[in-house]
Structure 1
Amino acid sequence: MDAGITQSPRHKVTEIGTPVTLRCHQTENHRYMYWYRQDPGHGLRLIHYSYGVKDTDKGEVSDGYSVSRSKTEDFLLTLESATSSQTSVYFCAISESTVLHGCLLSACKQQLERLRLLCVYPHPGKSRPP
């Protein structure tokens, strides 16, 4: 059965300072796509959202992130240089329509997919790949 929305990779451990790209893929042809993060003890916070191909905007915690949407199906979130503060659980969501940016997920009737990302310091003495 098709879930309608998937994220890749499902889990990721990366070194501090390394760029990381997370992919959200949908098969529902929805116009709106969202990237959220959830830190321990906190609710979801909007990073970026898209309201169509090449149409994106920032959310409340967009610093250190960039997004791209070159086709309806895919919405890419890039951590430009991973930091320990970006260790989080990341959620991608889609919806046919939206209300105000601060809407609750249940009110938006979105489908949601999650991914866990851990940013770690490189092992001492280990050279970073080019």
Structure 2
Amino acid sequence: MVSMGRKMTSQSACSWEKTHSFLKTAMGVRLLWGVALCFLAVGLVDTGVTQTPRFLVKRIGEKAVLECLQDMDYERMFWYRQDPGLGLRLIYFSYDADNNDKGDIPEGYSVSRKKRERFSLILESASFTQTALYLCACSKATVLHSHSLPAQKRK
């Protein structure tokens, strides 16, 4: 219990704790409703790109498959990985159905894209070093498309 320049009696402390508990519960309920409304709104919006499953936990050595679906008829699809404290790194990309290429970190992964709308990332044998955030993206074809990062001058 914190005293702010005057002595709190046990009765006033008890009253303060009841009020604090009520306020904490009320704020928690409001936060819960706010989060629920956000999820409902997200569910109503057609995003165009869906990645499943949303969360995945596997034992070491197990196979894992992440699916990316898009309904925009875009040719290009990408799988990225983000490790804690690092930026996005390209694993694989696809020009169109059955036309895939390796990104910057393809080791330990394979992909499949039999149809334009679906791009699967496959981890044949999950390892601890593959624990990361995985993101799928898609885009329209561009004339000057390249997965290479721009060169930078050294200082």
User: Into which bin does the TM-score normalised by the smaller protein fall?
Assistant: 0.7 to 0.9
Gaps of 5+ in 1: 105-130
Whose RCO is larger (CA < 8 A, sep 6+)?
Answer: 1
TM-score, length-normalised on structure 1? 0.77
Whichever of the two has the greater Rg, that structure is 2
Can you list the C-alpha shifts for 1:42-65, whole angstroms capped at 9, x where unaligned?
000000000011000000100010
Structure 2 unaligned blocks of 5 or more: 1-44, 151-155
Q: Counting strand residues as a fraction of each chain, which structure ranks higher?
A: 1
Higher relative helix content = 2
2-structure distance, mates of 1:68, 1:85: 22
Of 144, 148, 155, the residue aligned with 1:102 is: 148
Cα-to-partner distance string for 1:73-114 (whole Å, 9 max, x where unaligned): 10000001000000000000000024221359xxxxxxxxxx
The aligned length equals: 104
**Matched-pair identity in %:** 50
Measured against aligned partners, the alpha-carbon deviations of 1:28-49 in whole angstroms (never above 9, x if no partner) come to 0000000000001100000000
Correspondences of 1:1-130 after superposition (within 5 Å) = 1-98=45-142, 99-102=145-148
Superposed CA RMSD: 1.2
